[in-house]
Chain A
């Protein structure tokens, strides 16, 4: 790995932080001894199977569960009518019209997407539940179907009568003066239409939960894989008409999530109702086909009427665009996607004049949910498409035009036109590392060599930011009445009776290695080995180690999660030092924590207390401690990053705090006869500030790259005109396999964040860099074949083949007006 390391301004002394220590989680996982939710068993538990709509849009005429109930071993059923009586619709975040949508845990009166749950059956076995679900008779009256956002906008068919419109949210964002920038430009480049396709990260473990209800206390325990319990509870408790204290979320190992396990509240509410109604634990494990059909797609977005202002020297001064986002049948986490993109409004560029006219609509497709790179990835794809289309049309070099327009390292920290602050980075330097890794200087020679074999070779760059630690106050830019702002995460650290260091996290890891990186941070602060630190697996509401926004999402563990761990560890350290000073009768300044002991610096060997002694004194042998000294050796800390308030008039503010850089570069070869794209060289360079564990960081880069390569070349949720999903399993929805992945080269640099507690930035999501660079590389490869424009994010062979056959039609929407 190429590493260009600037000397980071660490707040910790050099220790375990910064080292690639092997993960603590692995020992159980490589033995098959992890505990995933589906591994949890309870006596007398019932298995739940959902009855799902075969139609994309229909009225529910009747539901008859009697035949299912007659089956031996069926414990019970639930339908939408019952849900409508015993729960309230979920809280909606939008203003009108989207705010008027009524979204229940099961379909009430109407189904709005294929696979929407209309009823649920609970039975003694998985097989029986499935059989019984088949016996539920549902009668439907089909309604006209909307699968295209642009059709939906016409409101000829309206999905949600309560809203009276398919528009969920719309608004205009304008910073600077884009019309003036266009008037003063030497060239105006117009792009009629770009389309970011629908896909999802499709975690290998599907969703699910085992839910227990305690009749005595009225409390539910959810053994589950929800990745954001803090917000999940905010949705669920009011719907169930209970206090938030009645919901206990327990997660252990989670088989990937990537944002796709944030919107599980509808299914979980059904499970809660069944557990209460049937008086037994109930378990639901989603089937793969159901996950693809009806759980969590990524946002699909169409960009219309793009106009870009370009100066004669290649400087881009602004752009405007109409963005049309398709959130599927229900705005579950939406309309937050209508603002999250604004964290990276100018991408990595110095554009000061930007206008985005944003509208989100419902269609008869699966609801969306956050998906790795949530909403920023779509917008960054736009900015990267703009740069490469402008470069191609004006004959500019994609490297030079980027370097000319990138925000410069000497401008850091850089305030964007909408008030976000890019905290640190050197984009041009990161690009240079990527160029070196793919031997950019040899591209023309390789192009000729490929041509001699009948292949079209192309090179492309994807330059992106992973914005981390988001300010929930940005929701008020969509709806000023929302009472959300800031962010928080909690952790607790204690020293137990035999000297065990025990850490509990509010975060909900799904493979990010939190147990390991948290242990590294704690070990450095307490002066022990990470092996001595037991970081509890998963999240448990009863640990009292969570906060309102607890979860693992939005690239923020490095900031808020580890910030909380650091804060709690420092409180514990202070007490341990005070305690040792009292016992050893030395001033606190003379005490150091090292090698698992508290000792007098440069003192005699016996002037040392092992952690066990400290733990035992406070927990079990404390009679001699003076009454005015009451150490607990048990500390909870909430990391609450400071954002300040957003300006709802100007639509500005610090929407997020850290900006990790990712520069991807791809070299592809296109087969002109088949349209097949082969990636022949690939590099990803990441700069996330201080890397707590470089190996884990690199692993995240690999994973984000694989998702992007899948999304760029094969992964797409394709619907027919009746709203039937055609790619509902891993046969039709092709994710990269080992044979599909090119060799990946990675590079790294460290520009420590001046605002993050450890100088470390969240980076797990990436910015979809692979999608952007592959689109650019395909366009470059086809430059000698009629110069088509790549206008979709997903380009499987049939689309590339179509561009090769008819380059003109893709070019029809692009125009350059030069003055």
Chain B
């Protein structure tokens, strides 16, 4: 039997731009984004898929990019935190994070924003409970989630 290929061509759309690259077969999607594409806004906070700092959108769905190989994203559409304010204007959610002091160190923030953006896309006016459920895969060690939840609820127009 032939040895498995050590690398594969990967073609993905990242934040609206088409990218084609040969990547090692074992490279994680998060390291592909960070190390190969220089999109360092997506962070790594654990090695077990618990923390959600690496959350990106894969074909519109939030996924943990440390739990996927880059080759598994072949043909997919990916959105990262850098794509949120691509036109230079912060989104309502990003502004809300600033206004509500929903970040301290900012390390979990990209993942939080991507999970919350996906929530707001499918549920534009989430309740506090719905926000907490949607963010339970994202760990924050600074804020106790209080202001994050408030910021997401407010961005959805809730009080």
* A32 pairs with B81, CB closer than 8 A: yes
Contact-size category for A:
35 or more
Assuming the A-B contacts A30-B113, A31-B85, are A730 and B141 also in contact, with contact meaning beta carbons closer than 8 angstroms in the complex? Answer: no
Main secondary structure of the interface of B (DSSP, over half): loop
Please indicate the chain A residues that have their CB under 8 angstroms from the CB of B142 in the complex: 204, 256, 511, 699, 703
Contact A737–B105 (Cβ < 8 Å)? no
**Are A256's CB and B107's CB within 8 A?**
yes
CB pair A203–B105 under 8 Å, yes or no, is: yes
User: Separation in Å of the B27 CB from the closest CB of chain A?
Assistant: 7
Which of A39, A255, A736 lies at the interface centre, i.e. has the most chain B CB atoms within 10 A of its CB? A255
Q: Is the CB of B103 within 8 A of A30?
A: yes
Q: What's the Cα separation between A647 and B140 when bound, in Å?
A: 43
Taking a contact as CB atoms closer than 8 A, the residue among B27, B105, B139, B147 that contacts A253 in the complex is B105
Which of A734-777 touch B at CB < 8 Å? 735-739, 741, 744
Bound form: Cα–Cα A127–B27 in Å:
8
B108 at the A/B interface (Cβ < 8 Å)?
Answer: yes
B99 proximity list for chain A (CB < 8 A): 22
B138 touches A738 (CB 8 A): yes
| Pair A30/B53 contact, Cβ less than 8 Å | no
Contact A32 B132, CB 8 Å, known A255-B105, A512-B104: no
Interchain CA distance A744-B147 in the complex, whole Å: 10
For A256, give its contact among B26, B39, B85, B104 (CB under 8 Å). Answer: B104
CA distance A36 to B82 in the complex (A): 15
Which of A254, A709, A735, A738 makes the CB contact (< 8 A) with B141? Answer: A735
Give the contacting residue for B40; candidates A32, A287, A703, A739; CB below 8 A.
A32
Closest to B132 in A: A738
Shortest A697–chain B CB gap in Å is: 10
Cβ-defined contact, A205 with B107, below 8 A: yes
B80 within 8 Å of A by Cβ? yes
A572 and B43 alpha carbons, distance in the complex (Å) = 40
Indicate whether A451 reaches chain B with its CB closer than 8 angstroms.
no
For B53, the closest partner residue in chain A by CB is: A204
Known contacts A26-B106, A288-B46; decide if A739 and B101 are in contact (CB<8 Å).
no
A32 with B41: in contact, given A26-B98, A703-B142, A730-B46 (CB under 8 Å)?
Answer: yes
- Tell me if A99 is interfacial: C-beta within 8 Å of chain B: no
User: Please, how many angstroms separate the alpha-carbon atoms of A35 and B43 in the complex?
Assistant: 11
| Contact (Cβ within 8 A) A511 B104 | yes
In the assembly, what is the distance between CA of A729 and CA of B137, in Å?
15
| B136 adjacent to A738 (CB under 8 Å) | yes
| Contacts A126-B31, A735-B139 given; does A741 touch B144 at CB 8 Å | yes
Complex Cα distance A206/B132, Å?
25
Q: Taking the complex as formed, is A510 at the interface, i.e. its CB lies under 8 A from any CB of chain B? A: yes
What separation, in Å, do the CA atoms of A126 and B141 have in the docked complex?
26
Q: Chain B residues near A202 (CB, 8 Å)?
A: 141
Q: By the criterion CB–CB under 8 Å, are B144 and A744 in contact?
A: yes
Q: Does A404 contact B (CB under 8 A)?
A: no
Specify which of B99, B131, B141 lies most central, judged by the most chain A CB atoms within 10 Å of its CB.
Answer: B141
Distance between A558 CB and nearest chain B CB, rounded to angstroms: 16
Min CB gap A272→B, angstroms: 23
Q: Contacts of B133 on A, CB cut-off 8 Å?
A: 738-739
What's the minimum C-beta distance from B138 to chain A, rounded to whole angstroms? 7
Cβ contacts under 8 Å, A334 to chain B: none
User: Is there an interface contact between B135 and A204, defined as CB atoms closer than 8 Å?
Assistant: no
Residues of A contacting B85 in the complex (Cβ-Cβ under 8 angstroms) = 30-31
Q: Please, how many angstroms separate the alpha-carbon atoms of A26 and B93 in the complex?
A: 12
Across-interface contacts of A512 in B (CB, < 8 A): 104
Q: List A34-53 residues whose CB lies under 8 Å from chain B.
A: 34-36, 38-39, 41
**Can you give 21 contacting A-B residue pairs, CB < 8 Å?**
A30-B109, A31-B84, A32-B81, A33-B82, A34-B106, A201-B141, A202-B141, A204-B108, A204-B139, A253-B106, A255-B43, A256-B107, A285-B44, A288-B45, A288-B48, A288-B51, A511-B103, A702-B143, A706-B145, A729-B46, A738-B135
A residues with a Cβ closer than 8 A to B are 20, 22-23, 25-27, 29-36, 38-39, 41, 125-127, 201-206, 253-256, 258, 285, 287-289, 510-513, 695-696, 698-699, 702-703, 705-707, 709, 729-731, 735-739, 741, 744
Taking A32-B42, A32-B82, A258-B141 as given, write out 6 further A-B residue pairs in contact, using a Cβ cutoff of 8 Å, ordered by the A residue number.
A30-B97, A204-B107, A205-B45, A253-B106, A255-B105, A738-B132
Q: Which 6 A-B pairs have the closest CB atoms?
A: A32-B41, A255-B107, A511-B105, A29-B106, A511-B104, A706-B144
Partner-A contacts on B (CB < 8 A): 24, 26-27, 31, 34-35, 38-48, 50-51, 53, 80-82, 84-85, 90, 94, 97-99, 101, 103-110, 113, 131-133, 135-149
